[in-house]
């Protein structure tokens, strides 16, 4: 008997519809992007001469969030799948919006001459 696999990803009032709404609001100013959710369980057994020597059990879960705006791509990820964690990741996504992101500092102006007007080839006989 198998349980619904969505139960591993969506818990505590956070469901697929909430994830879609949250992702849409976070990526509203981006040209492209996605939310990737992952839940994985693994078991391993190691035998030597027919005897069990090692055993392990592992559970991993988390999400990745990607946003693309022009030539800029932003990534955020966490091991916790929750509304709050995805919202925090969304704050990182806001940095790629040209309207809200920090402005680059102007280049330092310099009029210093690096070379003289002399032609170095005039020195060749």
Top-confidence residue, 50 or 4: 50
The per-residue pLDDT for 97 is 66
Token duo for residue 89: 């990741």
What domains lie within the chain, and their CATH numbers? Answer: 16-99 (3.30.2290.10)
List pLDDT tens digits, range 13-59: 788 888 899 999 998 888 899 999 998 999 999 999 999 999 999 98
If one counts every other C-beta atom within 10 angstroms of the C-beta of residue 32, the result is 10
4-27 burial, b if ≥16 CB within 10 A, otherwise e? eeeebbbeeebeeeebeebbeebb
Model confidence pTM above 0.95? no
Top-confidence residue, 110 or 86: 86
CA angle 33, 39, 45 (to 5 degrees): 140
Phi, psi of 10 (to 5 degrees): -110, 115
Mean pLDDT is lowest, of 35-44, 75-84, 88-97, 100-109, for 100-109
Per cent of the chain over pLDDT 90 is 34
Top-confidence residue, 2 or 86: 86
If one counts every other C-beta atom within 10 angstroms of the C-beta of residue 69, the result is 19
């Amino acid at each position: 008997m198998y349980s619904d696999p969505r139960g591993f990803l969506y818990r505590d009032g956070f469901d697929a519809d909430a994830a879609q709404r949250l992702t849409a609001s976070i990526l509203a100013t981006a040209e492209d992007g996605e939310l990737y959710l992952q839940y994985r369980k693994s078991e391993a057994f190691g035998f030597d001469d027919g005897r069990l020597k090692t055993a392990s059990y592992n559970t991993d879960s988390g999400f990745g969030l990607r946003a693309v705006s022009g030539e800029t791509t932003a990534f955020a990820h966490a091991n916790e799948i929750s509304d709050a964690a995805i919202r925090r990741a969304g704050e990182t996504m806001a940095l790629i919006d040209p309207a809200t992101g920090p402005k680059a500092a102007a280049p330092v102006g310099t009029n210093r001459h690096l070379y003289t007007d002399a032609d170095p080839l005039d020195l060749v006989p």
